[in-house]
Amino acid sequence: MKMPGFAGGTYQTKSAVMAGEDCVNLFPEPVPKGNKAQAALLSAPGVREFATMPEVGGRGIFSHNERLFTVFGRSLCEVAESGAVTVIGTVAVDGNPVIFDTNGEGGDELLASSGGAAHLVNLTTLALSTPLASGSTQIGQLDSFFVSLDAATSTLRASDSLDGSVWNGLLVAQRTSASDPWIAMIVARGEIHLFGNKTGEVWYNAGLPLLPFAQRPEGFFQTGIAAPFSLSRFNGTIAWLGASEHGNPGVYTLDGYAPTKISTPGIDYLIQSYETHARIANAVGWSYEREGHIFYVLSFPTAQRTLVYDATTNEWHRRGYWDQATAQFTMYRPTFHAKCFSKNLVCGLADNKIYELTDEVFTDVGGAPLRRVRRMGHLSMENQKIFFPSVELECDRGQGNADVANPTVNLRYSNDGGKTWGASRPASTGEKGDYGTRVRWNMCGSGRDRVWELWTSDPAEQRWMDFYVDARVGRGRRAA
């Protein structure tokens, strides 16, 4: 029998016996009808070093007209396609990410909010100034105007058109549509999206005198934000870690002007467990596209966990860095993303590197193992004992390479619904060109509630399609 739902995502509850599926550094992809497999699990990309920065601690990265800008620590830099780094200057620092935007060819300026200040770069001369020395939590640009949100005072400000050095004190708005103050902002879909912790609203360019923006009457909604820097442009709209007045945190996208929840109860349970034991207000969200998949990546720095939503399949999976010393996953190292030089470029909080996400390498940051795990759902039959003479993984075989001549996949299993586990057993997936290898495990014991888990850390290409189980009930009757 094929293991039902093998190529699935992450869905966990408080009770592992109820549901405990996991998918780490792997994501499902459907396969067109008429092929041997209905779906496959593909590997998250490896990372390759692109540039070395002058300080540790990436805080943001941004691309404009094939120019790359980033902040590490206090250093605001431009990075060339060769990886060469030019330090533009220093910026204020706090615990928040840096937000960037430009006012286009007409203004030729880059604005970056960092440490509560708005820092302006002339893109021709790279001259750096600070037109707003305080009160700038997040920034954006709409119709040639830079806009800035001061989350401390719930104040929206705008610069002059095509001139980020001038901020007229009359171009100011404060919230009147609800009692919860604005704490987050993003400019997307040609509009300004402003969030409190319970509600949100959308503003547009109404062409008004002084401050040209006004609230869109139909753009008010009853979902707020739980983490201001979880906001990300995503799949033609926006995604964020949201919260309502009476609800627990969950992940939302905006469908028109209606918040639509995309997190499942299993993902909500994980997020709420992070909230119980750690902060979630500092969660960071970003998105990228790869081979037809559109991902929203949501990292929780305090909880050290990362959840990923795939808009192509509507499935969730986890990503993580495998800490070999503790034998545990921690937060996925890439935390900020920009597409530039035809590369998906990322940086994170823990080092001084910019990396490229790539399918050409199969290791994590610093050459660490990229551990990939698929924990399946329960296999049981009315609590009868099931015997398992053998199981087999259908996958790409013969993928040995210069880094690992004979890659392996490891199998372990639990007989108590996922509470305790037996030892891992490796099986070869074949040396290079050995496409006939059978990835098979014999004598897999028996149990009434079996959970299977596959994992590999070998630096080789991995595609897993199906998991075949020889399951026999009682005296040898095959399970249906």
| Cα(429)–Cα(393) distance, integer angstroms | 9
pTM of the model: 0.96
- For 426, the token pair is 């490796």
CATH superfamily of 11-44+372-478: Galactose-binding domain-like (2.60.120.260)
Q: Residue 178: is it exposed, middle or buried by C-beta count within 10 angstroms (0-12/13-18/19+)?
A: middle
Phi, psi of 314 (to 5 degrees): 60, 30
- For 251, the token pair is 């992940």
CB–CB of 198/136 below 8 Å?
no
Phi, psi of 123 (to 5 degrees): -75, -10
| Cα(421)–Cα(298) distance, integer angstroms | 29
CATH topology of domain 46-361: Methylamine Dehydrogenase; Chain H (2.130.10)
- Tens of each residue's pLDDT in the chain, 480 residues: 899 999 999 998 877 777 789 999 999 999 887 788 889 999 999 999 999 999 999 999 999 999 999 999 999 999 999 999 999 999 999 999 999 999 999 999 999 999 999 999 999 999 999 999 999 999 999 999 999 999 999 999 999 999 999 999 888 999 999 999 999 999 999 999 999 999 999 999 999 988 999 999 999 999 999 999 999 999 999 999 999 878 789 999 999 999 999 999 999 999 999 999 889 999 999 999 998 999 999 999 999 999 999 999 999 999 999 999 999 999 999 999 999 999 999 999 999 999 999 999 999 999 999 999 999 999 988 889 999 999 999 999 999 999 999 999 999 999 998 889 999 999 999 999 999 999 999 999 999 999 999 999 999 999 999 999 999 997 555 665
Spell out the domain ranges in the chain.
11-44+372-478, 46-361
